[in-house]
Amino acid sequence: MTELLDLARTIALEAGELAARRRREGVAVAATKSTVVDVVTEADREVERLVLGRLQDARPSDGVLGEEGASVSGSSGLTWVVDPIDGTVNYLYGIPHYAVSIALVEGEPDPLTWTSKIGVVLNPATSEIFTAEAGAGAFCGERRLRVGGPTPLNLALIATGFAYAASTRGAQGEVIARLLPQVRDIRRQGTASLDLCFVADGRYDAFFERTLSPWDHAAGALVAREAGARVTGMRGAAPSSDLIIAAEPSVAARLEAVLDELGAFDAF
């Protein structure tokens, strides 16, 4: 798999350079998706076309699942899961916290059943690149990553995110209001793939979010897991749009229990 990790890293770096160049030139909304605040830029589409082309040239038998519409069936049993620009709203506003995310999974491209093989997450604005290969650890550049140690929940820095639908965000906000007094603080930076990598690097104690799409967490979840985090979904299921929690195992268990008590699993 090492050559496939090298391939993903090379493509991510090229895609990140294109995204950064387009950001310098100026970015505008090209369309909206699920709601008026769920935006896509022409750069999202252009970067995805680049990634898809490079993958098809190098791996014509593999499938591809991309956020902006790229969907290619393969015959190899492997699928590349691509978010060309994760954190598009940050990207649109010039906030230097967005990512190119590329994962390789085995099996059907469904997070409930797939087996993650490779994950690469690049922040073009900072040049930080996070990589992981199943069974081989996680890295930021050449530095091996390790999740933070056990932390009491009241001292834990927790990252999260919110859905695009206004009614869902309202329900999520009510949960956060009840969670906030029980933790050190909350962070919401708007790029799930990087949030997961920050858990891997001990910059956050935990991350949780609902309503994520497969490409939002495919690569970052593997980085976090390979750094020693427990990455799980709702009540022990695999991570999915229902829920993803990533943290040092004891922190993850405590956070999941508190969220359940707060009604976070039943809020929407």
pLDDT computed for residue 32 by the predictor: 62
> DSSP assignment, residue 240?
B
Q: Known binder of ligand: residue 195?
A: no
Q: Known binder of ligand: residue 129?
A: no
Chain segment 198-214, per-residue pLDDT in tens: 999 999 999 999 999 99
What CA–CA distance (Å, rounded) separates 256 from 198?
19
Q: Known binder of ligand: residue 216?
A: yes
Percent of the chain with pLDDT over 90: 78
> DSSP assignment, residue 154?
G
Triad 37, 42, 43: Cα angle to 5° = 100
Q: Known binder of ligand: residue 242?
A: no
Q: Known binder of ligand: residue 110?
A: no
Phi, psi of 141 (to 5 degrees): 65, -120
For residues 218-244, average pLDDT: 94
Chain segment 124-164, per-residue pLDDT in tens: 999 999 999 999 999 999 999 999 999 999 999 999 999 88
pTM over 0.75: yes
Q: Which domains does the chain have, with CATH numbers?
A: 2-144 (3.30.540.10), 153-261 (3.40.190.80)
Query: What is Dmax (Cα atoms) for the chain?
Result: 51
Enumerate residues 6+ apart whose C-beta is below 8 A from 21: none
What CA–CA distance (Å, rounded) separates 139 from 2?
14
Q: Are 87 and 123 in contact (CB under 8 A)?
A: no
Residues in the chain, how many?
Answer: 268
